């Protein structure tokens, strides 16, 4: 099998019903669509058996999260490439070939992903409408700032810009969105898949960062484009989602920061010291945000940050000290103040100063 295109589903029966037909039509004879199910309770598997009987399903006995679900599903599959794709992704014919062609032409690339455009559902007709703007989850490839706050070509904080072809050149990035991500199966196995402590959110950033530390490149391939609805499993306003993001951002630093300093030629003792300091600074920033949430009446969000820190302290462990590659895509900028001051101008600023456009 060339590519196993795998959806991990959890209670998104209607998305499967809407988005599986174009996905199935888009795949070649050497590719296979697989739907793994995290113990859904909405009748997803029954619907699959009735309406898509030719599609392989992998039922799991409970909800293992994005990380555990994919780890268990992909361990049962054999293909040259794994493609992780969300159930709320709309594709057109030809989206997969540019990704495979890029991987075949660039053996140093371990993971890649397409451009993500936004998809919206019409309140009147119920139809899904493609937009010409980038989408929050990954836009045209992801980066981290000084304190590991993620941003993308085409997306900074909650702000996205219109796709005018400005990011149509493939680019090495730090991470690609897990909503549509291709990885060599050999790389997936060598890295041990996702870190299951993450459960969901930022696990793909961790995977991509670990891949770069293992000597692989990560690339956005804009010749491939898909449309992402977003928020299909967990609402963007959910305090639990906020908790996962704050906790996992710190796990991300634990896993990768010391090795990243080692890759830059810093001694082990100094690398550990620098990583400890950077993590402590990030915790301070989180606590300032927690106070702001509280003062603005968002007490659920303030509590979520506190829960995130408590959970992180229970889960944390020393990260890898092996660095066979130097990660790219960690940008020496503090993205939040720049974005707040520059507003829509942040994209022009980044294009000129960072991306060389």
HEC readout, the chain:
CCEEEEEEECCCHHHHHHHHHHHHHHCCCCEEEEEEECCCCCCHHHHHHHHCCCCEEEECCCCCHHHHHHHHHHCCCCCCEEEEECCCEECCCCCHHHHHHHHHHCCCEEEEEEEEEEEEECCCCCCEEEEEEECCCCCCCEEECCCCCEEECCEECCEECECCCCCCCCEECCECCCCEEEEEHHHHHHHCCCCHHHCCCCHHHHHHHHHHHCCCEEEEEEEEEEEECCCCCCCCCCHHHHHHHHHHHHHHHHHHHHHHHHHCCCCHHHHHHHHHHHHHHHHHHHHHHHHHHHHCCCHHHHHHHHHHHHHHHHHCCCCCCCCCCCCCCECCCCHHHHHHHHHHHHHHHHHHHCCCC
- 89 and 162 in a single domain? The answer is yes
- 56 and 79 in a single domain? The answer is yes
- 30 and 70 in a single domain? The answer is yes
Tell me if 176 sits within 8 A of 142, measured CB to CB. Answer: yes
- 34 and 159 in a single domain? The answer is yes
- 26 and 67 in a single domain? The answer is yes
Q: What is the mean pLDDT of residues 68-96?
A: 98
Residue 347's pLDDT is 98
User: pLDDT > 70: what percent of the chain?
Assistant: 99
In a domain, 317, yes or no: yes
In a domain, 335, yes or no: no
- Cα-to-chain-centroid distance, residue 21: 24
In a domain, 331, yes or no: no
Residue 287's pLDDT is 98
pLDDT digits (tens, 9 = 90+) for 152-201: 999 999 999 999 999 999 999 999 999 999 999 999 999 999 999 999 99
d(CA 298, CA 151): 24
In a domain, 234, yes or no: no
Residue 93's pLDDT is 97
Q: What is the mean pLDDT of residues 54-76?
A: 98
When pLDDT is cut at 50, 70 and 90, the band that residue 45 belongs to is: very high
Domain CATH number, residue 25: 3.90.550.10
- 156 and 268 in a single domain? The answer is no
Domain boundary among 186, 205, 228: 228
- 208 and 269 in a single domain? The answer is no
- Cα-to-chain-centroid distance, residue 130: 21
- 155 and 270 in a single domain? The answer is no
Whether the per-residue pLDDT at 234 is higher than 80: the answer is no
- 147 and 206 in a single domain? The answer is yes
Q: What are the angstrom distances between the C-alpha of 268 and each of 79, 211, 262, 271, 320?
A: 38, 20, 6, 5, 12
In a domain, 103, yes or no: yes
- 180 and 36 in a single domain? The answer is yes
Whether the per-residue pLDDT at 105 is higher than 90: the answer is yes
Tell me if 289 sits within 8 A of 154, measured CB to CB. Answer: no
Residue 288's pLDDT is 97
Q: What is the mean pLDDT of residues 330-346?
A: 96
The whole model's pTM is what? 0.97
- 38 and 81 in a single domain? The answer is yes
pLDDT digits (tens, 9 = 90+) for 266-293: 999 999 999 999 999 999 999 999 999 9
Domain boundary among 172, 194, 228: 228
In a domain, 209, yes or no: yes
When pLDDT is cut at 50, 70 and 90, the band that residue 237 belongs to is: confident
d(CA 73, CA 75): 5
First to last CA, the chain: 39
In a domain, 343, yes or no: no
Selection from 237, 281, 276 nearest residue 254 by Cα: 276
- 22 and 144 in a single domain? The answer is yes
**Domains of the chain: total:** 2
Residue 21's pLDDT is 98
In a domain, 352, yes or no: no
When pLDDT is cut at 50, 70 and 90, the band that residue 232 belongs to is: low
User: What domain range is 274 assigned to?
Assistant: 239-323
Residue 233's pLDDT is 64
Q: What is the mean pLDDT of residues 200-216?
A: 98
């Amino acid at each position: 099998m060339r590519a196993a295109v795998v959806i991990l589903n959890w209670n998104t029966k209607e998305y499967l019903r809407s988005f599986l037909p174009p996905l199935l039509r888009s795949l070649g004879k050497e590719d296979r669509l697989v739907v793994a199910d995290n113990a859904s309770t909405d009748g997803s598997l029954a619907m699959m058996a009735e309406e898509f009987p030719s599609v392989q399903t992998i039922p799991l006995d409970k909800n293992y999260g994005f990380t555990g679900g994919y780890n268990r599903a992909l361990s049962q599959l054999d293909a040259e490439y794994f493609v992780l794709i969300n159930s709320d992704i709309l594709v057109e014919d030809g989206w997969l070939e540019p990704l495979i062609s890029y991987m075949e032409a660039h053996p140093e690339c371990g993971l890649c992903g397409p451009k993500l455009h936004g998809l919206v559902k019409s309140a009147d007709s119920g139809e899904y409408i493609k937009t010409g703007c980038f989408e929050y989850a990954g836009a045209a490839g992801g980066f981290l700032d000084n304190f590991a706050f993620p941003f993308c070509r085409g997306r900074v904080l909650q702000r996205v810009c219109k796709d005018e072809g400005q990011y149509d050149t493939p680019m090495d990035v730090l991470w690609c969105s897990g909503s549509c991500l291709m990885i060599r199966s050999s790389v997936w196995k060598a890295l041990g898949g996702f870190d299951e402590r993450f459960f969901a959110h930022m696990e793909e950033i961790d995977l991509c960062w670990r891949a770069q530390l293992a000597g692989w490149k990560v690339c956005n391939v804009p010749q491939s484009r898909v449309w992402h609805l977003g928020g299909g499993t967990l609402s963007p306003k959910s305090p639990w989602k906020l908790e996962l993001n704050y906790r996992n951002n710190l796990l991300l630093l634990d896993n990768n920061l010391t090795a990243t300093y080692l890759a830059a030629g810093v001694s082990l003792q100094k690398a550990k010291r620098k990583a400890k300091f950077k993590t402590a600074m990030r915790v301070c920033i989180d606590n300032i945000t927690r106070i702001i949430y509280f003062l603005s009446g968002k007490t659920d969000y303030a509590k979520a940050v506190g829960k995130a820190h408590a959970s992180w302290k229970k889960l944390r462990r020393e990260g890898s000290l092996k660095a066979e590659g130097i990660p790219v895509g960690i940008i020496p900028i503090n993205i939040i103040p720049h974005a707040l001051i520059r507003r829509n101008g942040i994209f022009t600023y980044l294009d000129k100063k960072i991306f060389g456009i």
